[in-house]
Each structure stands twice: as structure tokens, then as C-alpha cells.
Amino acid sequence: MEIVLLYGGQSAEHEVSILTAQSIIRHINYEKYQVTPVYITHEGKWFCGAPITAAPQEDIRLDFDGTRATHSEEVNPSQVLCEGKIAFPALHGPNGEDGKIQGLFESLHIPYIGAGVLASAVGMDKIISKHLFQEAQIPQVPFTPLTIFDWKQERAKTLTRIEGKIVYPMFVKPANLGSSVGINRAENQEELIAAIEEAFRYDRRVLVEQGVDAREVEVAVLGNDKVETSVPGEILKSQKFYDYKEKYINNTVQLGIPADLPGEITDKIREYAKKAYLAIDSSGLTRVDFFVTYNNDIYINEVNTMPGFTQWSMYPLLWEATGKPYDQLLEELITLALERYETYRGLKNDQTENEAVSY
């Protein structure tokens, strides 16, 4: 079967996506699959490379000259997304992880790896997902959303509203981004204003959250209707906040896998991770992130429906520690994608037959 591996993309997480694609290419089972790499530029153009039919002897070059991937040709999506293929969107952030490209796969009737349209859109949107977690009764820190209209029209009133609900330190995040892009910590009003201005560079909606003195713990989730959770892992912090540069450029983040937590806290985190997964109607894969205070209070932070697969990414490392090595994890993701595709195709066929009988 041919896997169409999409990477790059139009979001600020473009470079992370390239690293994810390199890792996937190294671990695919080439006795069963071949990989067609498709690079998407910052401007949204698609470039298709030659099919990869064997594991590369060294790191495959997925670099580009600013307009196109090397050794590739520009294509239309329908030229590479057609019957008999399966899409692997190794794309992070808007236009890759937020349901847009998943909608394209659905329209073209192509099986694809990862969450569906709804779960992708909801999981990407930190504000909407928080409302769903609230409904699912998963504990969260105090938060307040704001729009660019609020900020431009009623800045003083908006600041008063935020400071009336949340105390410093606060974290300010664009509603629809990941990998810590556009996220900043604010210790006072001056820093809060600067953080909000920065976040509005990336989105028209922003989330302001209460900062907590806590450990950052993450759980990998896998499955469709039957859901599995991994052992929790911890980001071991030597500083208060790791931004995009520290995570992916300087690579200074240290991971503790499995996280050193009491058994009952581990069980509760895994239970909350499953509840969050089901709350957004996810499928395939998702990473669920939590804060755990030093009193062992648990708060959900966010979900990532297409977490990174770089060599230092938490998601595959969590599954490796749980007993699923990288190559087995990829195989299960492909199986889950085909399973979901066949399930929906069966439902559509039943619906057509019922309509025909009714008619």
C-alpha cells in the first residue's frame, strides 16, 4: 500500500513537521508499504517527491530551497490523494492538525491516519476544548478567553476582567497553535499586555490561564472505539517555561519516562486522558497534557491530536516505555486508520441501502 506522507505545511510548526516526517520515513515497514513524500510550502503549494521503497541508509534529505522541496515536482492534491492510498498528515498546527486537511481527505474518500475532522478542529482550539473538558468534569485551572475585538475596543475593561478572575503568574496562548508557539508567561500587567499582543500575532482569539506551580505530565492515547493509554511521562523543568526555541531548536527539554508519581495518581491521570480523548471524539492518536501540583492535584492542560514524532518527541517515547516500539506504533496507526475508514464506508453503504428501501 502506498502511504502519502504530507509534511511542512503553512503553520508556524513547519520545521517540526519536517523532523517528524524524517522519523516516520526511517521506521515505516517497507515490506508492506511504500512512502510518497509530499512537501507543503509555507504558501500552501504541494511538491511530490519520488516514492521511497526501502529504508534510507542515512537520514533522507527533506530540505527545501524556500519554494519547493529538492528533487520534487509541484502537484495538485488530487494527483497524489487517490484510491488505494492512505494519507499520513505529519502536519502540526493550523491547516494540518485542525480539521481542514482532514476534510479534504474525507471529500476525496481517502483513509488517513489520525483524528477526524471534528476531533482535530476541537483539539486544536484550546478554548472550545476547555469547554468540553468542563462538561466532562475534568479539572482545569481558571481561564478566560478574549478576542482581538475585545482587546482593541475595550483594553482597560478586558484587563480588569482578566485580573479579576486570574492572579499572576498567567500564561497567554493563541487559541489555535501548538509546540509552545506564541505562548508567554506574564508576572505582571506589563508582561501580560506584551504576551497578549504577541499571541494576537498568531490568532484572533487568545486564552489566558492561571499559572500553577506544577509538574508537566503527558499521556499518549491510541485507538478508535477501543482506547489505550500509555504510562505518563514528565517534562523535567530546569526553568519556568520552555518556549518553541528551547523545545525544538536548542533541544534542552529533559523527559522523565515513566513519570515518578504515586500509583493512584498515575491511574487518575490515565483515566482523565481517556475521558478527554472521548470528549473530543478522537480517533487514531492524541497526546493529553496535564499539570500535577506538588500536592498531587491534577489539571488538564490541552490535547494534541497530531503530536510530534521526532526522535525526542514524547508521544512515541511514551509508547516505547509502555511496550510499543516506534515501528509497531506506526503499524497500529495505519491499521486504525483503515479500520475507521471501513467502518464509515460501511455506515454510508447501509444508509444508502436504507434510503433506497425507504424510497
Q: Is the pLDDT of residue 352 over 70?
A: no
Instruction: Tell me what the mean pLDDT of segment 242-259 comes to.
Output: 69
- Whether residue 175 contacts residue 203, with contact meaning beta carbons closer than 8 Å, is answered with yes
Phi-psi region of 294 (alpha: psi -120 to 50; beta: other; left: phi over 0): alpha
DSSP 355: H
251 in a domain, yes or no?
yes
353 in a domain, yes or no?
no
Does 314 share its domain with 226? yes
Does 300 share its domain with 222? yes
Q: How confident is the model at residue 210 (pLDDT cuts 50, 70, 90)?
A: very high
Catalytic site includes residue 72: no
Does 194 share its domain with 281? no
| pTM, rounded to two decimals | 0.88
Q: What is the pLDDT of residues 154-202, one digit of tens each?
A: 999 999 999 999 999 999 999 987 656 789 999 999 999 999 999 999 8
Q: Which residue has the cell 526501502?
A: 54
105 in a domain, yes or no?
yes
129 in a domain, yes or no?
no
Q: Is the pLDDT of residue 316 over 90?
A: yes
Does 246 share its domain with 323? yes
Does 218 share its domain with 293? yes
Annotated binding site: 126, 171-173, 179-180, 209-216, 289, 301-302, 304
Does 178 share its domain with 191? yes
Burial annotation 101-126 (CB, 10 A radius, 16+ → b, else e): bbebbeeeebbbbbbbbebbbbbbbb
Catalytic residue among 11, 13, 97, 218: 13
How does the average pLDDT of the chain come out, rounded? 89
Percent of the chain at pLDDT above 90?
73
Q: Is the dihedral of CA 159, 162, 163, 167 positive or negative?
A: negative
342 in a domain, yes or no?
no
Q: How far apart are CA 276 and CA 263, in angstroms?
A: 20
Does 245 share its domain with 304? yes
| Among the ranges given (33-47, 247-261, 298-312), the one the predictor scored with the smallest mean pLDDT | 247-261
Does 147 share its domain with 167? yes
CA distances 92 to 8, 96, 207, 260, 329, Å, are: 8, 6, 19, 29, 19
Catalytic site includes residue 358: no
Percent of the chain at pLDDT above 70?
87
Instruction: Tell me what the mean pLDDT of segment 327-353 comes to.
Output: 83
Overall number of domains in the chain: 3
Does 149 share its domain with 97? no
In the chain, what is the straight-line distance between the N-terminal and C-terminal CA atoms, in Å? 38
Does 163 share its domain with 266? no
Among 87, 134, 138, 137, CA closest to 115: 87
Does 189 share its domain with 104? no
Confidence at residue 356, expressed as pLDDT on a 0 to 100 scale: 45
Residue 291 maps to which CATH number?
A: 3.30.470.20
The length of the chain in residues reads 359
Q: Which residue has the cell 488505494?
A: 84
Confidence at residue 349, expressed as pLDDT on a 0 to 100 scale: 61
Catalytic site includes residue 15: no
Annotated binding site for ATP: 126, 171-173, 179-180, 209-216, 301-302
Catalytic residue among 11, 120, 129, 313: 313
Which residues form the domain of 70? 2-112
Catalytic residue among 11, 129, 179, 283: 179
Annotated binding site for Mg(2+): 289, 302, 304
Q: How far apart are CA 139 and CA 218, in angstroms?
A: 15
